[in-house]
A and B are shown apart, each in its own frame.
Chain A
Amino acid sequence: MVDFDLSEEQVEFQMVVRGFVDDVIRPHAERWDAEGELPMDAVKQMAGLGLFGLPFPEAYGGSGADLLTLCIAIEEIARIDSSLAITLEAAVGLGAMPIYRFGTEEQRRRWLPPLAAGDALAGYGLTEPGGGSDAAATRTTAKLDGDEWVINGSKSFITNSGTPITSLVTITAVTRDGDRGKEISSIIVPSDTPGFEVGGGYRKMGWHHSDTHELAFNDCRVPQENLLGELGGGFSNFLSILDDGRIAISALAVGLAQGCVDESIKYAHEREAFGRPIGEYQAVAFKIADMATKTELARTAYHKAAWLKAGGRPYKAQAAMAKLYSSEVAVEAAREAVQIHGGYGYIEEFPVCRHYRDAKILEIGEGTSEIMRILIARELGLQPR
């Protein structure tokens, strides 16, 4: 029998997060966006809810929840504030998860508890100025010199890499370049390491108050034991990390789309044109009906992908489908929400304006829509080039 119900605890948690977002985040989201700085006080309050430790075992300070529970929190936050939703998604999925999944017991004990508590944040440095989705094009190098890695190169668009509480960035680097291609490994670089420089923030279209930086490594030395996972395992490790990330980004996209639906319904009741609320016109009501339908389907898609994962079954294709579909739904919902709001949709006082700017990156980050289509096609036995 198909069962679409969340567990009782997940529903209760969803209500708690929704209340938290309404009380603590909603009143300030517009201002934070204008200021363009990660609001550390809000991060601290999110940490108080245990959000940053959700999927990790209690032994490392986590809550022992599953991926879906984390996604529920991300979706609820993204209804109102995509910048904080991506901060959480990246902190857990990209920052802490590789340490948990591929770290030695010693590495886990050392780095994970502060990350799970939300007292520290970590970044994952994969993308470089010369390429994102094409990880094999990695140019950053790490060479062993005695018992230290010497790292040279640069990384781009690295979330949570420059906050006041960032403790480390895990980077991918070429550890050997031979006849049989590049050997790519993951290495933990603590934030205070000499030779590790965090660049200024970007002027982004959206996600204004998420923390994103360019990173430079100039003869940056870290101990040999900072290798994360097997030598040469960096590439396959990051691929498996991204599968989960796609489900979480899908949740974020669904949250944004739902936020657009909510705001549009509210506005359709309030705003009058030609003597009646605009929601009484089919042109508006049908738009909202379509937005809500697609949002619901996108939610079902990511729930199913998470459900497959929880059952230990293959979910790569469903994760890619969920990410592809929900990010395109989010962009469409934001565009239509602005259209429904008319001129006010172009004004920052109305949340849909910010949602519109925040939506586009969802079709790009953690695997572009094009890469999603390649992955899905491959799962179908096709080899698109």
Chain B
Amino acid sequence: MKHVPDPNLPVELDGGRLRRDGVQCVLDPGDEFGVEAGLRLVEEHGGEVTLVSMGPPAAAEAIKRGLSMGAHRGLLISDDALAGADALATATVLAAALGGRDFDLIIAGVESTDGYTGTMPSTLAELLGLPQLTFATSLSVTGSSVRVDRQSPDGYQVVECPLPALVTVTAGVNEPRYPSFKGIMAAKKKPMEELALGDLAVELDVRQKVVQVTQAEERRAGQVVAADGDTAGRIADLLAEAKVI
């Protein structure tokens, strides 16, 4: 999971990167679905949900939000040397932290709400040698396998693989619960493990550079077709022009 600048606030840039200092940060809304998915599996099958994040010390707040929702423990990997880590570096660090641990399933969001590369989970699965099921709109575990409905442009595929595995969940896979006050109080007492780079046997090779950041083109106003004799015909022409039909 990731601690990201509140996506409801205007984006502030610092050179080619998002400004994080002094900006309200939250648990990535996309990750709330992953936490909820994990909690539901544990409620059904037993076990524990461990929340894992790599980020600055403040990322503990994101983990705490998930613990307040009901997850059991947290693991934060934080080190000044990790500032500016790209998706490959992040996946390398997470793989080093998770390899050798006992788990059945890694659940991640499809992509983060700040970086949007969407490559970290797949890289992590590759590095750990795990099968990966991506873009899940629903998931279930039976015996020793996990099955998901995998969203595709024109519908969904039903795919299944043996555990352990990695699944990425889409927004909307479930309705994440809100933490209760009781959950918030309970989170204070839950174990939180913290690791620095020196605790992991890992060589970092950060190759990705942000060359340029430009503002996305503003969405243009729609075109209003007035209702008169040939409205339908003109709408059809516009759709054809846009290659929709």
Query: Which residues in A have some Cβ–Cβ distance to B below 8 Å?
Result: 9, 12-13, 16, 19-20, 48-50, 54, 58, 63-65, 69
Say yes or no: B188 contacts A16, CB within 8 Å: no
B172-186 contacts to A (CB < 8 Å): 177-185
**Distance in angstroms between the alpha carbons of A54 and B182 in the assembled complex:** 8
**Distance in angstroms between the alpha carbons of A69 and B182 in the assembled complex:** 12
Main secondary structure of the interface of B (DSSP, over half): helix
Interface size class of B (residues with CB under 8 A): 10 to 19
- Chain B residues in 8 Å Cβ range of A54: 181
Say yes or no: A69 contacts B181, CB within 8 Å: yes
- Chain A residues in 8 Å Cβ range of B183: 50
User: What are the 3 tightest A-B residue pairs by CB atom distance, in nearest-first order?
Assistant: A50-B180, A63-B182, A63-B181
Say yes or no: A65 contacts B181, CB within 8 Å: yes
- Chain A residues in 8 Å Cβ range of B181: 9, 13, 49-50, 54, 63, 65, 69
Say yes or no: A63 contacts B177, CB within 8 Å: no
Q: Mark B160-177, 1 if CB is under 8 A from A, else 0.
A: 000000000000000001
- Chain B residues in 8 Å Cβ range of A69: 181
- Which of A12, A63, A64 lies at the interface centre, i.e. has the most chain B CB atoms within 10 A of its CB? A12
Main secondary structure of the interface of A (DSSP, over half): helix
- Chain B residues in 8 Å Cβ range of A20: 178
Known contacts A12-B68, A48-B177; is-contact A58 B182 (Cβ 8 Å) = yes
- Chain A residues in 8 Å Cβ range of B184: 9, 12-13, 16
- Tell me the nearest residue of chain B to A62, going by C-beta: B182
Say yes or no: B185 contacts A9, CB within 8 Å: yes
**Distance in angstroms between the alpha carbons of A69 and B183 in the assembled complex:** 14
**Distance in angstroms between the alpha carbons of A69 and B181 in the assembled complex:** 9
- Chain B residues in 8 Å Cβ range of A63: 180-182, 185
- Chain A residues in 8 Å Cβ range of B179: 12-13, 16
- Chain A residues in 8 Å Cβ range of B68: 12, 16
**Distance in angstroms between the alpha carbons of A12 and B185 in the assembled complex:** 10
**Distance in angstroms between the alpha carbons of A358 and B179 in the assembled complex:** 29
Known contacts A9-B188, A12-B68; is-contact A50 B182 (Cβ 8 Å) = yes
Contact of B178 among A16, A64, A65 (CB under 8 A): A16
Instruction: Identify 24 residue pairs between A and B in the complex whose beta-carbon atoms are under 8 Å apart, listed by A's number.
Output: A9-B188, A12-B64, A12-B68, A12-B184, A13-B179, A13-B184, A16-B68, A16-B184, A19-B178, A20-B178, A48-B177, A48-B178, A49-B178, A49-B180, A49-B181, A50-B180, A50-B181, A50-B182, A50-B183, A58-B182, A63-B181, A64-B182, A65-B181, A69-B181
